[in-house]
Copies of this chain bind each other. A is one copy, B any other.
Amino acid sequence: MISNNNKKCVIAVDAMGSDNSPHNDVIGAYNAWTKFKSFELLLVGDKNEILKVASQNNLNIPEDWIVHAPEKILMSDTPTTAIKTKKNSSIVIGASLVKEKKADAFVSAGNTGAMLTASTLIMGRIPGVGRPTIGASFPNQLGSFTLVFDAGASVDSKPQHLLEYSAMGTIFCKEIYGVANPSVGLLSVGEEESKGNELTFATNKLLKESKLNYIGNVEGRDILNGAVNVVVCDGFVGNIILKFGESVIGFLKAKMRTVAEGSLLDKIKVLIAKGALRKALSDLDYQKHGGVPLLGVNGISIIGHGSSTPLAIENMILRAKEMYDKNVISKFEEAIKDYAVK
């Protein structure tokens, strides 16, 4: 358990993670460090490649920041196989650094499945957690965020897993988003208790018996409406909504381009509209959120998009630092015990 907040936080960053690695990963990590300097940075990846990026971009990266990892898990690799066969990959070594307490957090924009598998198998699960969960934060109408668990860590979840997601989600929302008594909603096809599927009916019973601030079923619209702080669902549904949500910006841009192809007046309107729209949509930009945390593993693990920019990497590191500072991991174990039953 990482709870020694007297020592300086050590954050290991996968230098080989993003689609544009190691460039985006190294620059993002370096930017985070130069801005805040309140943590020690480890860059996990091919030493020569990292040093090349450092030299090309005039980054002052000492060699002892680099943990050499000559292998790379590709986006196309099968996670479980890759974890077993590529022992010298940045993802396996990064997760091992946390396991061995040489790092407090590991951050990667690499293969999501491999990060999930490595974090779960190498760091291990927090006692009482059956399955780790990924949390996604959606901006809502109220100007705050709705957290969705599980956003894709696993599918075909059991009711007990959804109860665990709810407990961890509650703690995460409390500690990281500062909500005093986060409300929890069960994602379903109607607000009434009679609406749902086999999984929600069984989960509803468990949630009602728990100590969580559970308000019952919520619907698809309630995520952006901000009806609750934490929305709980199986990772199959959560992942599909997350990806659907991410595609809204591209859709709107395409639609605005089409409008701009109309009259000259339309073109001018769209030009002027762009700034306003950009501001309005800025909360939807995944780069701002800094990846998604994997909760339930015995350490801080943050997973980013393959398309992460340096800014996205930087924000992932800040999120890891925040989780360290607020001692979130050690609070989960207590929460699982405390919240799960009345």
CB pair B256–A196 under 8 Å, yes or no, is no
Kindly provide the distance from the CB of A342 to the nearest chain B CB, expressed in whole angstroms.
Answer: 28
Query: Is A181 engaged at the interface, CB distance under 8 Å to the other chain?
Result: no
Identity of the chain B residue whose Cβ is nearest the Cβ of A76 in the assembled complex:
B192
CB contact between A220 and one of B143, B221, B239 (< 8 Å): that residue: B239
Indicate whether A250 sits within 8 Å of B141 (C-beta atoms), given known contacts A219-B240, A255-B283.
yes
Q: Which residues A111-162 have CB closer than 8 A to chain B? A: 139-141, 143, 152, 155-156
- Cβ–Cβ < 8 Å partners of A237 in chain B: 236-237, 240
Name the interface size band of chain A. 35 or more
Q: Which residues A156-191 have CB closer than 8 A to chain B? A: 156, 187-189
- Cβ–Cβ < 8 Å partners of A78 in chain B: 194
CB pair A220–B242 under 8 Å, yes or no, is yes
CB contact between A244 and one of B152, B197, B224, B246 (< 8 Å): that residue: B224
Kindly provide the distance from the CB of A149 to the nearest chain B CB, expressed in whole angstroms.
Answer: 15
CB pair B252–A189 under 8 Å, yes or no, is no
Q: How many copies are assembled?
A: 2
Q: Which residues A194-216 have CB closer than 8 A to chain B? A: 194, 196-198
CB pair B276–A247 under 8 Å, yes or no, is no
Kindly provide the distance from the CB of A247 to the nearest chain B CB, expressed in whole angstroms.
Answer: 4
CB pair A247–B269 under 8 Å, yes or no, is no
Query: Is A62 engaged at the interface, CB distance under 8 Å to the other chain?
Result: no
CB pair B247–A224 under 8 Å, yes or no, is yes
CB pair B196–A225 under 8 Å, yes or no, is no
Indicate whether A155 sits within 8 Å of B219 (C-beta atoms), given known contacts A266-B279, A272-B272.
no
Indicate whether A247 sits within 8 Å of B275 (C-beta atoms), given known contacts A237-B236, A255-B280.
no
CB pair A189–B276 under 8 Å, yes or no, is no
Query: Is A37 engaged at the interface, CB distance under 8 Å to the other chain?
Result: no
- Cβ–Cβ < 8 Å partners of A141 in chain B: 250-251, 254-255
A–B complex contacts, Cβ < 8 Å, 19 sampled: A78-B194, A141-B251, A152-B189, A155-B189, A155-B196, A156-B197, A189-B239, A189-B240, A220-B239, A220-B242, A221-B244, A222-B247, A224-B248, A225-B247, A240-B241, A255-B283, A260-B276, A262-B279, A270-B276
| Residues of A bordering B, CB below 8 Å | 78, 139-141, 143, 152, 155-156, 187-189, 194, 196-198, 219-225, 233, 235-237, 239-248, 250-252, 254-256, 258-260, 262, 266, 269-270, 272-273, 275-277, 279-281, 283
Among all A-B residue pairs, the 7 with the closest Cβ atoms: A220-B243, A273-B273, A221-B247, A220-B244, A255-B280, A155-B197, A220-B240
